[in-house]
Amino acid sequence: MTSNYSSPLIPLEDSSEEFAIEYSAEKYGSDELGFRQNHTPYRKTSSVAITKRSLFCWSIFGATMVFIIGVLIGRFVFAPKLPETKPKVAEVVPLQKQYTYSEMKKMLFNEMKAENIEKNLKFLTKNTHIAGSMKNEEVLVKDITDAWNVQLDKVEVYPYNVLLSYPNSSSPNYVGVMFPNGTVTRKSNWTETPFTTSEKQDDVIHVFNAYGAAGDATGHLFYVNYGRIEDYELLVKQGVNVTSGICMARYGKIFRGDKARLAELNKCAGLVIFNDPLDFAGQKKHTWNSQKGGKDVYPNSWWLPPSGVQRGSLHLNGDPLTPDYPALNITYRIPESESFLPTIPVQPIGYEDAYQLLSILGGNDAPSDWQGGMDFTYKFGGQFDENHKYCKAHIHVANYRERRTIKTVIGYIRGWHEPDRYVLLGNHRDAWTFGGLDPSSGTAVMLEVARAMSMHVKNGKWRPRRTIVFCSWGAEEYGLIGSTEWVEQMEKMLFLRAVSYFNIDIAVQGTGAFRALSTPGLGKLLFDVTKDVPNPDAKEIKQKRPSVYDTWLAKNFDFDDKTKPYIANIGSGSDYTSFLQKTGVASADIRYNYLYHNISSYPVYHSVHDTFAYMKQFIDPEFSYSLAIARVAAGLLIRTGDACVLPFKPTDYADKLAKLASLLQKQSGTVLDQHSISLENLHWAIHQFKEAATKMDAKVQLINSTSDLIHVRQINDKLFQINRGFIDFNGVPGRHYYRHTIFAPSSHDSYSGAAFPGIVDTIFVAKRGGSWDDVKKEISIVSLQILAAANLMAD
């Protein structure tokens, strides 16, 4: 096709030329992706009069055909059959020349450019692009679709009609102090102070927490630290009753939606969430005050300024009205009252506004670990100081919820040998404001990876063995909606055919070291790929750490095995969630990270200051770290998408299971013994898995160029299906969305990953008066799923 492509995104160099990849129907067959194949077109001919001569010719032809058919019958039906020969690995010839991993890596690494990523990011962050807006669902979708239509083999756009939430600009949200006569003072701001021209755009959305209930609430103000279970338990021990009060929690430690849920459970009338300067402005305890200058915060440093506010959703796991099913037009919607959305007003504020409330709070002093970065002693509250002793806190939220169409864009590079096996790379497209880091740094990287790969496919130099799929998700910020709806729509296909999913949400949020979350079988793959990627840090290279892996190992090693870098358990919080939890697809999330261990996110996360300028000035000025992540992503795709045998290591999974079981025994063994509960069956199941994994590793080592293709296919299928064995379709107790019995988000923090979530959750509940029989049941279920995973590796 001839392209009229004019998107500002980086196109192919010769995008004006004809781009048509032909496939042999005989060689490749057809598959459900619907790629066009070559067939001789059927042409209808006009009738012709039958003459005597033609009848004579047809008679001769018929006699000849009878003779030939008789010979063939004698030759093939009655003759003895020859033994079948199976095709060997070395006998399969791809459409294009196949390069070794080292050759392809070199070509791809050289093709990708830091300046292209920078150009992509500058374009993507030119305007705000919140989910459901014209700029996100039409403009950016068109730009990405136009680029991929030129570069890739096929592009599909999936629209979903979902319930979203927005602040009401005609009735702005606020928190304040109400006097007995109804006058409200010390009102919080619903906008942030802009520092650049781009930040002054009129369409920057007011600060709010999506899905927070509309309404007004008035009550005594209580400070609840981070709003965790243990925080409320401490308040109870201190005799502090928060019922009908306005609770005030600082951001961090747990998912904001869990803060809202726990506030409801503890009967708070409303919730205020604020960014404390201790966590987001680099302040020490009791140091910041409202008269202090702003030289040590943005725009002079990367720390959050006083008016900065973190927006964010209080919901996870897809469209609230179509749980477990894709939000198509034909899908039944549950009533909103059954959707488990928050029922109390919730509003985020900056620390300059939090100062106005907490500085006049009375009550007993909070403990030392509850103290924040503002220059006063934080108190539990329940009353204000002497000057405001008759006042109460007031919260006003006018958010509205409405259904809008969001879109997910999927692009394919078709595999030459296993087109029905999919290796996926994804990033979400929507942002609360400009998305300088979250998510557009990841979008910019993914677009460059797709472009670079497509260059070699289009030029006839290379084509992957398996199909590579690029995913641009919509409405991730509202609760992983785009990816969840697509996985729900494609669930059965993905369960059978998806090999792995790699996620880049924020590509770079610091320059300290590489960071990964993943399922255990991908560990060696991550190590091998990062060893191949040049270190973007010149200082580290001088320290004789030439690769990304070297700095990762030096600065973030595994405390249980200091010879390896640390890989965190994968939980939730980004678009890998549905792949792992719904379909058991091996998943990983990658980024470059900061080395501050006491902050939960980069400081301007989800604020108006998350811009291209912030990225350029404070994070990755030369986009060299962005390029490093692009190279890691490309390495993961070509190693997984092009290797004859998948680079997964089952024994790593076995070792991780054994480690997690030992940790469970150490943490809960005593209390389990007190209730006559044993983990013996769990340890036995893990031993069975270890034996099966060891045999599987041995089979992989035996594969070579003389191995038959059916055998190789069987081995690969077993390798990528191991994770499916851990899926319990009944779900984790009380959380049926989460099906993975080994890894799922903590029930108390949906961001963090919990090992053996069903067991851990039931122990937690049992300690607080629940049933210990439920613990026994969960140990049994997890043991059975581990055996199921072991059986998937058997012949």
DSSP of 586-636, one letter per residue? EEEEEEEE---SS-SS-TTTTSTT-SHHHIIIII-TT-HHHHHHHHHHHHH
- The radius of gyration computed from the CA coordinates of the chain, to the nearest angstrom, equals 30
Taking the C-alpha atoms of residue 664 and residue 756, their distance in angstroms, rounded to an integer, is: 9
Residue from 428, 456, 740, 748 carrying the catalytic annotation: 740
Backbone angles phi, psi at 336, to 5 degrees: -60, -30
DSSP 8-class letter at 379: B
Closest alpha carbon to 427 in 312, 603, 591, 257? 591
Residue from 146, 231, 476, 778 carrying the catalytic annotation: 476
Is 561 part of the annotated catalytic residue set? no
Taking the C-alpha atoms of residue 521 and residue 785, their distance in angstroms, rounded to an integer, is: 17
DSSP 8-class letter at 387: G
Is 597 part of the annotated catalytic residue set? no
Pair type for strands 312-313 and 209-210: parallel
Taking the C-alpha atoms of residue 136 and residue 113, their distance in angstroms, rounded to an integer, is: 25
Q: Does residue 775 contact residue 762 with C-beta atoms inside 8 Å?
A: yes
Is 313 part of the annotated catalytic residue set? no
Taking the C-alpha atoms of residue 677 and residue 776, their distance in angstroms, rounded to an integer, is: 7
Residue from 24, 54, 678, 771 carrying the catalytic annotation: 678
Within 13 Å, how many C-alpha atoms sit on residue 257's CB side?
Answer: 23
Taking the C-alpha atoms of residue 145 and residue 152, their distance in angstroms, rounded to an integer, is: 10
Is 476 part of the annotated catalytic residue set? yes
CB atoms within 10 A of CB 329: 7
The gap from C-alpha 230 to its chain's centroid, in whole angstroms, comes to 28
Q: Which helix (H) or strand (E) holds 766?
A: helix 757-767
Please count the helices (runs of H) and the strands (runs of E) in the chain: 24, 21
Measured between alpha carbons, how far apart are the two ends of the chain, in Å?
47
- Alpha carbon of 247 to those of 163, 360, 648: distances in Å? 27, 15, 47
Residue from 264, 491, 717, 774 carrying the catalytic annotation: 717
Enumerate the active-site residues.
476, 678, 717, 740
